[in-house]
Structures are given as structure tokens and as C-alpha cells.
Structure 1
Amino acid sequence: MVPTPRPARPAERSHAVVIGAGLAGLTAARALADTYERVTVLDRDTLPAEPAPRRGVPQSRQLHVLLARGAQALEELFPGFLEELLAAGATRADTQGEAHWYLDGHLLRPAPSGVISYGASRPRVEHHVRARVAALPGVVIRQGVEALGPVATSDRGRVTGVRVRPRSGGAGETGGAGEETIPADLVVDASGRGSRAPAWLEELGYHRPRQTRVRADVVYVTRHFRREPHHIGGRSGVALVPFPGLPRGGAIVSEREDRFAVVLFGLLGEEPPVDEAGMLAYAESLPGPDVAEVLRTAEPLDEPVRMRYPASARRHYEKLDRHLGGFLVTGDALCSFNPTYGQGMTAAAQQAVVLRALLAREPREPREPRERGRDADGLPRRFFRAAAKVVDTPWLLAAGGDLRFPGAEGRRGPADGLLDRYLTRYRAAASVDPVLGRTFLSVAHMLQPPARLMSPGHVLRVLRAPRTGGPAGAES
């Protein structure tokens, strides 16, 4: 059978450059590969040949989970990806039927939900995505390269490339020689929370995007343990969510059949220790016994690693009145969330799905130069508006969850108090009503909108439930 040739691309779809080879950059490259003749991905690091943490992704040593919506997005971008991940040792679990969730100290009623998550380390997920992207026709991944900023046309209306220079072998050093400009029709900044895109835009005469921040001063510590069948009753994982009055939490995720990732975290001055006795005492202060059980009885496989995350930050590129043509921002460079909600990989993959769909709908025929100039910011405008809708749900969940704590810094709305009282009662009711639990997890995994929690049927279930659920730690 003769393969169907790929459709010819217009001149302005010749070359795209992606800054950053993390999950956001790699999935963006996948989205671009369908419509651009060439895609070059740049990264400051020397990328590992096998799954391993790296300097440019410091959170890669911490616990990660692939939420249900993120798993769907990666499967859409890379058909067969989830089976490949499972074959490499990752785990798959029903988040309500095979895990324990403690909400406001109440154990969510276990029951099959169909909300499926995947346990795998961040380096493992990134490794398999990177291999898929590197195998795409026309895609090149360049390592050890620092992006210095976009190059624009004389009228600064759109990008024409990106300036780069090689990094030296020294830790954190850059070489002074070898600067070059890589021509590009599109530049995507996926460089993470340290993105310099706002400064780059300002240098070219554009406004910086407005930023919304919610500061909760999260500190978290991850350690890996050998998993044995008897641990936590054979379940796949545990989540103990902080709440006002107890700004501490913890979680367990099965990264492999024989390996747990365990995280302890605290907000607003609560800081998990890294010594064994201190970690155990901290875990014993949590509502459920599961994390403490693993720390007490399981064999540690490495040393604890601590990380700090001061604030969630959202840059509102969608609200700019003028965009630099051919310049996009995605992933944590667009919006970064409190990592204890596990939303980062999922939000990045969803943004790539959106980008792919927008490119597929763009005109495929070359436009006249004056038409291109008139619509220079068309794709950025459409992408940022669509990406904002992707970000809305995880931002509402993460920012809203953090702003429950009086000490968290951020803007609160006039209706927040009433909503918080309802959701507090909802969490307690979910400890006896599995339908409420299933919806809560569907929303947390971005399968349903948050408004579903307040549907008339759910409000009725909450009002009919006992005022308090069973005691934290009670078995079903």
C-alpha cells in the first residue's frame, strides 16, 4: 500500500522552535509536527538516555501522578502510549476503588468509579514522551542550548527566529561564544516557571501579561519505598488532603508494582522533616494511618528530597490587547499550580491537544503578505484564549483549595465563603455517599467541570447526608 503523502505546508509553516524539552515542550512539539515541515526542540540540559531526574526539572525527584484527563490527552497525542507506559512498569488504578482519599479528615467512601489514574515517575513519563517525539519525521531535539530570546521583524510584528547559545560543561554556566539565530516561523516558550517571555515581550515593545498569584508556601518531601502486597491493604495509593486546622498532608502512589513514592507536605509554615523519626511523627499526625504504616514498615530505597513551592502563578496572556505574531507560551510558563494537586502534566498535555486542533483548523493555503501581516497575532490570540479555558479548571481547584486557608495570600471573591461552606459539607457527605465521591474525583481529574459538584441532584445528596461522616481512618 502506498502511504498517503502529507499535505503540502504553506511557506509560513516551514519551521517551528520549541524552548524546553520537558513535558510541555515535548507535547507542543508533537502538536506542531503535523503541520510544520520541521520542529526543533531546545533544552539547556544534557538529556538522560534512560529515565532519570535532571537539573532542569528539579521537581522530577518528587511524587507525580498522571491524572485521568492527562492520560487521555497523552493517548490522543501518542496512540498506544498508555499501554507502552504500563509495559515499562507503570501502574493503573481506579482512584476511588483502589485508593484511600481523606477529605477534611473524612475517608471518602471507597467504590468503583471508572476514574483511572496512572502511577509513574516524572522521568519515566518524560522519557517515553521524548522517545515518541524524537521519532517523529522532521523533529530534532537539541541539547545543551540556552534560548536568549525571539528575533522579530523590523516592525516587531512577528517572530523570525530565536537567538541561542551553547551551554558550557560547568554547572549552571553558559558559554560566551557560539551565539546563533535559528530562523523560525513559530516560537513556543515551554521553559517552565522561570520563563523570561514577559521580559522578552517588553523588550520588543509589548506589554507584560498580568499575573495572578496565590501564595501558600508549600514545602514537600518525597521518598521511595519498596512496595509489598500487604502494604496499605493492597491498595494502589492514598491521598490525605490538608484542610483548615490541619495544613498538613501526604500521599502514596504506586510508581511500579514493587515501588511506592511517598510524599509529605505542609502549607504556611508547616514543613515536613527529612529524618526518619521526624517523617514518621509528621505522618502520624495525619488523619489516616496509611502513610505512617508505610514509613514504619517499608524498606526505603533512597534518601528524602525536599522542595519548596512558594506560590501558584498564572500569566494572563489571553488578556493582552496585542500579541507578538508567531510566539506562544505553554505549560508552567503560562500557568503553574501548587504541585500537591498533581495537575501540571495534565494541563500541559491538554494545551498541546488544543494547539494541535487550532493548527488543524488554520488555513492551509499561503496567504498574501498583507493578509499575513494583518493577522500576525491570530494564532497567539486564538491559542491563548483556548489555553485559558484549559487552565480555568485546574486553577480554580488549586487556587480555591489554597485560599481555604486564612493565611494564604490571594484574591478572594464575595461568594467564596458560601461556596466553601457547601464544599466542606460536600466532603463530609462523600464519606458516606460514593456518588459524591465519584463526582469529586472526576472533577479533580478534570473529567468534569467544577460546576458538576453543585448540580441540583448533588446538592440534594449533600443536604440529605448526615452532618458528619465516619471517623477518619475507618475502614469500609
Structure 2
Amino acid sequence: MGSHVGKRAVVLGGSVTGMFAVSPLAEAYDEVVIVDRDELIGVREPRRGSPQARHINGLLARGARAMEDLFPEITAQMVAAGCPLTDLAGTVRWYFNGKPLRQTRAGLTNVAARRPVMELHLRERLEAMDNVRFMERHDITGLLTTPDSTQVLGVKLRRQEKDSIEEHLEADLVVDASGRGSRSPLWLEQMGYGRVAEEGTKMGLGYATRHYRLRFDPFGKDHSIICVASPQSPRGAIFTKTDSGTVELTTYGILGDHPPIDPEGFNSFVKSLAAPEIYEAIIDAEPLNDPVLFRFPTTMRRRFELLPRLPEGLIIMGDAVCTPNPVFAQAQTLSALQALALRDQLRAGMAPDPKKFAAAVGRIIDPAWEMTEGINLSYPGVEGRRTPMLLMMHRYMRALQAAATRDASLTEVFMRTASLVDPPTALMRPSVIWKVLRDAQQHATKTA
């Protein structure tokens, strides 16, 4: 268990990131208050403040392990409630460059649930904690600070009611988990801390989601069918079993090639994918709703760790710091790892140091960000600098993916990296490189 650190911590945002953060905070503070503009308690459907909740929810294997560490036995609870388990290398049918990878059980398990269902399970765990309180339907209007702005003392907020007045909620620590729309960059600049550097890549990504009840099963022993977009075919899809006996389909395209949301156009888009069984399954299925589109113009990373100083009493995490390409499903896993980093600092018996925490968040993000930003630049139409090293890596990754269609051990290595269990450097181990080069040579000889 953690050490006592303070009286009250306030979390801005009842998102998955915010709830991950509450777990370590509840060990260290007498009271933890979650403030959100939406109604939260008992909500089982997508919230207005969480537009991506209507789409595929992804928690990678390392994130699933971190969630279990933060909330022991939650995986078993979700499975008992009807959420299926999957193995990323063994029960997912991956298509890369139009060809399926060889499968192997690799222990890369996670629980598959729609985001509202995951939020509900996390929220119920927090509701059971005596020192956790929810403040629903409140707008955050600013921070409370000392006159010299060197310390944050709480937050200013207002109820979403007619004629409501601004309230002040004092806190020893404020955790900004309010997502990409976070106002921390603006607040910090107004407080004299300078402008937060931002970086990202214009992807022009758009994805549409629809839910179904199937009349026949295209999965067999598999849990999901995932067709990954490539420079040659920049369209992809994630087709997966989820809770309540339904299936969820999110299909996507980049650089403005977005799926139509009229049913006929949506089906036609799906028919163009490299995995024909997805179209064959949905064309005969019972749709449960109409397609919903979400546009994701750019990836984004805010470099809070590069600011010369930060005020005491404020830390920032989750999508407020980094929103990577959602196709890679990294965001929730990165948030869970950040929550574990927060727990490590709190268990030392002191309030988290904002600069040290920002640096720790940066180190967590670095390998995942560098890997996926490099993959984003494999698309010729995406703007960005392509070094000779990056171009060589693109060629190597194509060779590795081709070899993984014939060698399941390479699928495991690749998926361990994609799941953030192993670092990207694992793909460059001598034994892996040798297998990739051997496969390329053998395949070239067969096709010569």
C-alpha cells in the first residue's frame, strides 16, 4: 500500500485515464474527487464528452497487465460479465499487405470490451472506495494558484445549471486527465511558464463504426479479424467480438479517404478491404445501429517535459499529453503505464514532482511515439522528414511482415512489440534479423 501524502487530490476528467490515475491517488490522499462535465454514475452508453467511445476500444497486452495491477481481479470480473479474452498473436487474424500472418499463442492477452463497458467496470471499482467522490456535470473554468503562480491550489468549476455560480475546490494535487482538449497548455502560458511545444503528423484519418449480430460465424477459433492499412492499400478495419454477444466493426482510411456513413457506401468501402470475410459476414448480418464517423486529422504530442519549470501541485497525463494514431490502440496502455509511474512516486511518501513526473511520462511515450510516427511516414502522401535510416526501417518492416506470414515466431516478436510488452529494439535482435533475411532469400529463390 502507499504512504499518506495529502488531504485531497482532484482529477480533471472521468475518462479511462482519469480512473487509472485514481487507483494510486486513493492510496495516498484522504479524498480523491473526479470532476467531469458528463453524467457518469451508472452510465452504460457512450458519453457526449467521449466521442471515441462509439468506436473500437483498444487496450494492448501491456496495458491489460497494468490495468490488472491497478485494479486486481478486474479482468476476471469483466470476463464473468461477458467480455471475451483474446490473444493478440493467437486469436487475432492479422492481414498485413493483404496477407494473413501465421498465428501463435503468445500470452498477449487482453479483455475485449466496448469503451462504455470498460468505463463502467472501472467506475464501479472506484465507487466502492470510501474516499473517492464524483462531481458530475461540472465545467472546469480554471486553476486556483498562489499569487506568484508557483503552486496550484485547486480548481475553479461551475455546475451545469442555470444561474450557477463559480465554485472553488481546493486540492493538494490536481491531475489533468481531460484529454486532447486540455486547457493546461493555455493555463501554463497565462501563468508565465511559456508555450508548450507540440509535434505531430497530419494523417487525415477517418474511421466509421457499426455494430452487428451475425447470422454466421466468420471467426472460427479467432476473436478478431484485423486488416491493416498499407501504402499500397490505405484502408483498414478492425472486426471483433465484444461484450453482449455483439460484434463491432471499425473501418478506416487515411489522407481523406474516409468510409461513407450511408449503409450502402459503408458496405462498399468494407468490400474493398483485403480481408473478404469481413464483408461476407456483415452483408448477411443484422445491423444494430447506423455507421458513425470520427475524424482524426493529426497525431499530437505536447512536450511538457521540455518546459524549464512547472508549478507545484499540477500533473498532466493521458491524451492531454499525447494522442498517437488511434489505429495502433496505444493511448489507454500509455495511460495505464503513466498511472503506475504515478504510483511509484506516491509510494515514496511524497507528492509527485511535476517536472520529474513529466519526464517519466515522456520516457513512457518515447518508444511508442517514435515507432508509430515512423510507420505513419511510410505513406507517401503523409508530410514529414524521411531519413535514410527511416527508409531502411520501412523496408525491413515490410520484409519482417512478409516473413511473419510464414513464420509464427516472427508474428510473436512483432506483436510483443506492437503490444508495448517489448521495446522496438526487440525487432532488431540478431536472431530476428537472421530469420527475416533468411526468409527473404528463400522466398526470392522460390519466386525467381
Query: The TM-score by the shorter chain falls in which range?
Result: over 0.9
Provide, for residues 268-312 of structure 1, a one-character-per-residue CA deviation record: whole Å limited to 9, x for no partner. 021111233322222222222122122222221111111101111
**Counterpart of 1:361 in 2: which secondary structure?**
coil
The Cα shift of 1:213 comes to 1.0
Letter in 1 for 2:197: R
Question: For the Cα contact (< 8 Å) 2:87–2:106, is it kept in 1?
Answer: yes
Letter in 1 for 2:4: R
**RMSD value over aligned CA atoms?**
1.9
Aligned counterpart, 1:56? 49
**Number of residue pairs matched by the alignment:** 444
Provide, for residues 389-435 of structure 1, a one-character-per-residue CA deviation record: whole Å limited to 9, x for no partner. 21123312332221111222344444211111111111111111111
Aligned counterpart, 2:247? 260
Question: For the Cα contact (< 8 Å) 1:106–1:427, is it kept in 2?
Answer: no
Aligned counterpart, 1:277? 264
Aligned counterpart, 1:459? 433
Query: CA 1:342/1:363 → structure 2, altered by over 3 Å: closer, same or farther?
Result: closer
Aligned counterpart, 2:393? 419
Q: 1:178 aligns with which of 145, 162, 165?
A: 165
Q: TM-score, normalised by structure 1?
A: 0.89
Q: Please list, as runs of the form range in 1=range in 2, the aligned pairs for 1:127-138 lying within 5 A after superposition.
A: 127-138=120-131
Letter in 2 for 1:454: M
Question: For the Cα contact (< 8 Å) 2:45–2:116, is it kept in 1?
Answer: yes
- Residue 383 of structure 2 is aligned to residue 409 of structure 1: yes
Question: For the Cα contact (< 8 Å) 2:2–2:349, is it kept in 1?
Answer: no
Query: CA 1:8/1:399 → structure 2, altered by over 3 Å: closer, same or farther?
Result: closer
The Cα shift of 1:7 comes to 8.0
**Counterpart of 1:163 in 2: which secondary structure?**
strand
Question: For the Cα contact (< 8 Å) 2:93–2:100, is it kept in 1?
Answer: yes
Which range moved further: 422-431 or 256-265? 256-265
Query: CA 1:7/1:218 → structure 2, altered by over 3 Å: closer, same or farther?
Result: closer
Question: For the Cα contact (< 8 Å) 1:428–1:469, is it kept in 2?
Answer: no
**Counterpart of 2:192 in 1: which secondary structure?**
coil
The Cα shift of 1:131 comes to 1.2
- Give the Cα–Cα distance (whole angstroms) in 2 for the partners of residues 182 and 122 of structure 1: 29
The Cα shift of 1:234 comes to 4.3
Unpaired runs of at least 5, structure 1: 1-5, 169-174, 365-377, 471-476
Question: For the Cα contact (< 8 Å) 2:215–2:284, is it kept in 1?
Answer: no
- Give the Cα–Cα distance (whole angstroms) in 1 for the partners of residues 442 and 282 of structure 2: 30
Q: 2:182 aligns with which of 195, 203, 226?
A: 195
Query: CA 1:8/1:433 → structure 2, altered by over 3 Å: closer, same or farther?
Result: closer
Question: For the Cα contact (< 8 Å) 1:157–1:324, is it kept in 2?
Answer: yes
Aligned counterpart, 2:404? 430
Aligned counterpart, 1:76? 69
Question: For the Cα contact (< 8 Å) 1:213–1:410, is it kept in 2?
Answer: no
Question: For the Cα contact (< 8 Å) 2:218–2:278, is it kept in 1?
Answer: no
**Counterpart of 1:34 in 2: which secondary structure?**
helix
- Residue 4 of structure 2 is aligned to residue 9 of structure 1: yes
Query: CA 1:240/1:224 → structure 2, altered by over 3 Å: closer, same or farther?
Result: same
Query: CA 1:97/1:468 → structure 2, altered by over 3 Å: closer, same or farther?
Result: farther
Aligned counterpart, 1:218? 205
**Counterpart of 2:202 in 1: which secondary structure?**
strand
Aligned counterpart, 2:332? 345
Unpaired runs of at least 5, structure 2: none
Q: Please list, as runs of the form range in 1=range in 2, the aligned pairs for 1:236-385 lying within 5 A after superposition.
A: 236-256=223-243, 258-363=245-350, 379-385=353-359
The Cα shift of 1:469 comes to 7.4
- Residue 133 of structure 2 is aligned to residue 140 of structure 1: yes
Q: Please list, as runs of the form range in 1=range in 2, the aligned pairs for 1:83-102 lying within 5 A after superposition.
A: 83-102=76-95
